[in-house]
Amino acid sequence: MSGETWFKGKEMDYDGYTAINVERDGRVLRLTLSRPETLNAIDAVLHEELSRIFFDVDSDDDADVVVLTGAGKAFCAGGDLQWLNAMHGDPAAFARTVWEGKRLINSLLDLQKPIIARLPGHAIGLGCTIALFCDIIYATENAKLGDPHVAVGLVAGDGGAVIWPQLIGYARAKEYLMTGDLLSAQDAAAIGLINHAVPVGELDASVDAMATRLADGATNAIKWTKASVNGGLKQAANAVLDTAFNFEAMSQMTDDHRIATEAFMNKETPKFTGK
């Protein structure tokens, strides 16, 4: 029954997505974050689309494997600073963002089809979180990964507090999340944060070989093995996400967050006040 499910879904139409490009290669579905002029930074449009794309993919009978990547030289630079700054002090806007963020993380955890993250460059903040919630992660050796929420006065509440400890343990996770320090892809692979750091010229061949192997495998066995592993991860996410998102919402209202976003947009060093 490889390539089939016990129930029939529907033929998916992704034409309504504007910030995510969708391509098919046989049973492999390729999703590309498509804001290369901003290093695929996440704005309101891309955030909303990310909150629903994996639900659509889950219902797509014509795909068995997903590859998630970014256009251009980066995977994703994290939240767009102009978008973050515009939300400062607006509870309604941030409440919607929190709702979308929970949908995004839960949809990644609920997606039974294996998803491979292809990182052609940096994966920062929410971009890093999304990559880490994928099943197999390939990055170029020159890529940097990290979750510097604290650098803009925010709590790492959009999933980083869930996935980093699961992958590298609590001590290392807290160090990286509380400092916002970035890792090279090679160091990230060495400590188990990602699967593989490969030379730039080998990225596509490595990703394509794994995607083909999974697509040609025992599809249902692969899907249900992933679902079994994710059972424990979903419990961890349910225990952490509400608290983390609530703290992030509180930090979004602070002076430190406003100071940081304004400083970064002006290419200055933020001077935090602790308020």
pLDDT tens figures, 67-104: 999 999 999 999 998 888 788 777 788 789 889 999 99
Q: Which two tokens stand for residue 156?
A: 């790492």
Is residue 25 in a domain?
Answer: yes
Mean pLDDT of 62-68: 98
Is residue 51 in a domain?
Answer: yes
Burial (CB < 10 A; 0-12, 13-18, 19+), residue 126, is buried
Is residue 99 in a domain?
Answer: yes
> pTM of the entire structure?
0.92
The CATH number given to whatever domain includes residue 251 is: 3.90.226.10
Q: Which domain holds residue 104?
A: 20-265
pLDDT band at residue 10 using 50, 70 and 90 as cut-offs? low
Phi, psi angle pair for 42, to nearest 5°: -90, 120
Is residue 273 in a domain?
Answer: no
Would you give the DSSP letter of residue 134? S
Phi, psi angle pair for 33, to nearest 5°: -65, 125
Is residue 10 in a domain?
Answer: no
Is residue 109 in a domain?
Answer: yes
Q: Express each pLDDT in 172-216 by its tens digit.
A: 999 999 999 999 999 999 999 999 999 999 999 999 999 999 999
Cα–Cα separations (whole angstroms), residue 211 to 38, 72, 216: 28, 21, 9
SS3 34: coil
Question: In the chain, how many domains are there?
Answer: 1
SS3 104: helix
Is residue 206 in a domain?
Answer: yes
